[in-house]
Amino acid sequence: MSGRIDARFKALKEEGRAGLVTFLCAGDPDIPTFETILAGLPQAGADLIEIGMPFSDPMADGPAIQAGNLRALKNGISVARTLEIVRRFRAADPATPIILMGYYNPIHHYGRHGFLDDAKEAGVDGLIIVDLPPEEDEELCLPALERGLNFIRLATPTTDAKRLPAVLANTSGFLYYVSLTGITGVKSAAAGEVGEAVARLRASTDLPIAVGFGIREPEQAAAIARHADAAVVGSALVSELASCLDEEGRPQPGLVEAVLGKVQALAQGVRGARRK
């Protein structure tokens, strides 16, 4: 399979650097503000964009992203509206890869085949569905691959040599290494441990390896970028956004600039990292 994700990682390899993957919840804090941020992410330095599909019970996410989910749901976001946002983004940006991250319940409610068809048509490139294990590949993974959508799987510090082949079997685009056990945004990753883990994973796959969880500052992003093919930052961006809301959850002046400024700083960290 070849698409925008493969093309972007190929370009990054040719540049001799790692990429920055940014995560925000679709529709957070409201749909117009989110779309403004989304449109500015590539210029700010996001190489790939991960969009969370808000769900009322995001069990793998920490407090910051849980709050982002709830804000977005309160403001009327849905799977259908998320796909509309991607469609509008794609009309203006034909190149930046878009990955939807979420849980299976909203997709099942939407209708899995209809969702995959509509996601492909909207310009989505890949999916990360955290609560569908490899044993359930026939449910969504294989139909997604048939439509040319990358299905991106998570590996963790507890993914042992016996489990890894199942994780890798139908994974495409890249492998997402979760550098910490537990939920997002509550601890920081140790670069040395990440380096060892990435080396182990590289022995089993040729896929690019993106590392996320616990990356908050440019220095941390740079440390990860020395080992991995991309650094993924989510909770830090959602927290930056939340810090620019008033007591009613409404965006204050400067919110968009603050979030994109954080992305720019992280991107500079990643781009300045010397690869191991």
Write out the catalytic residue numbers: 50, 61
Has residue 185 got a pLDDT over 70?
no
Tell me the β-bridge partners of 51: 24, 100
Residue 205 lies in a domain: yes
Q: Which domain covers residue 22, as residue numbers?
A: 4-271
Distance CA(149)–CA(135), nearest Å, equals 19
The CATH number covering residue 142 comes to 3.20.20.70
Has residue 79 got a pLDDT over 90?
yes
Distance CA(155)–CA(157), nearest Å, equals 7
Tally of structural domains, the chain: 1
Kindly report, residue by residue over 96-147, the tens digit of the pLDDT.
999 999 999 999 999 999 999 999 999 999 999 999 999 999 999 999 999 9
| Residues 170/145, Cβ–Cβ less than 8 Å | yes
**Two structure tokens written together for 192:** 């040395």
Distance CA(272)–CA(199), nearest Å, equals 21
**Two structure tokens written together for 156:** 């963790």
- Range scoring the smallest mean pLDDT among 8-22, 65-79, 179-193, 259-273: 179-193
Predicted local distance difference test score (pLDDT) of residue 214: 84
Dihedral, CA of residue 6, residue 7, residue 12 and residue 15, to nearest 10: 140
Closest CA to 48 of 11, 78, 8: 8
Residue 276 lies in a domain: no
Predicted local distance difference test score (pLDDT) of residue 163: 95
Residue 45 lies in a domain: yes
Kindly report, residue by residue over 219-228, the tens digit of the pLDDT.
999 999 999 9
> pTM for the complete prediction?
0.94
Residue 175 lies in a domain: yes
| Residues 224/211, Cβ–Cβ less than 8 Å | yes
Give the burial string for 107-137 (b: 16+ CB within 10 Å, else e).
beebeeeebbebbeebbbbbbbbbebeeeeb
Alpha helix stretches (DSSP H) within 147-272: 164-168, 191-202, 218-225, 235-242, 255-271
DSSP 66-81: HHHHHHHHHTT--HHH
